[in-house]
């Protein structure tokens, strides 16, 4: 069951510059900045109301976010939906024919996460997250 939007992720070339821009223009500061080695990114999270903006900068030049920036440039990378149970949601979506990037949930910045391929969702990369 979808509970709401957890965050919107924005791919950036320089995390520090992006964070500084949002702080200078809107007074928004990140609540945390951390490396996510298995996803090849460094991420900053900014809370806005009940949701978050997540800025992601590639640290792995061969990773998915680096490829995204090469082909599409900076901008919205994915939308993360909060769910009750990531693994159950993956099973449900698989049964309905969705193309899954992850067949099993894994640990991520937003909790227990998994990605659905944008080919199944009109070009939008969707992340599912189950809060810890």
Q: Who contacts 49 (Cβ-Cβ below 8 Å, separation ≥6)?
A: none
Q: Is 132 a residue whose pLDDT tops 90?
A: no
Cα 112 to Cα 38, 57, 58, 90: the distances in Å are 14, 21, 21, 12
pLDDT digits (tens, 9 = 90+) for 8-67: 999 999 999 999 999 999 999 999 999 999 889 999 999 999 999 999 999 999 999 999
| Cα–Cα dist 72/67, whole Å | 8
Spell out the domains of the chain, with CATH numbers in brackets: 2-130 (3.10.180.10)
Which residues are bridge partners to 106 per DSSP? 113
């Amino acid at each position: 069951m979808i509970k709401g939007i957890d965050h919107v992720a924005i791919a950036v070339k320089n995390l520090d510059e992006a964070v500084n821009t949002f702080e200078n223009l809107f007074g928004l500061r990140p609540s945390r900045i951390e490396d996510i080695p298995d996803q090849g990114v460094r991420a900053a999270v900014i809370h806005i109301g009940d949701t978050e903006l997540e800025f992601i900068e590639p640290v792995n030049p061969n990773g998915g976010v680096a490829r995204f920036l090469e082909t599409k440039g900076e901008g919205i990378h994915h939308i993360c939906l909060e769910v009750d149970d990531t693994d159950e949601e993956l099973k449900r979506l698989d049964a309905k024919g969705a193309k899954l990037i992850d067949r099993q949930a894994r640990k991520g910045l937003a909790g227990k996460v998994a990605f659905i391929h944008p080919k199944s969702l009109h070009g939008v990369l969707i992340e599912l997250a189950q809060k810890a």
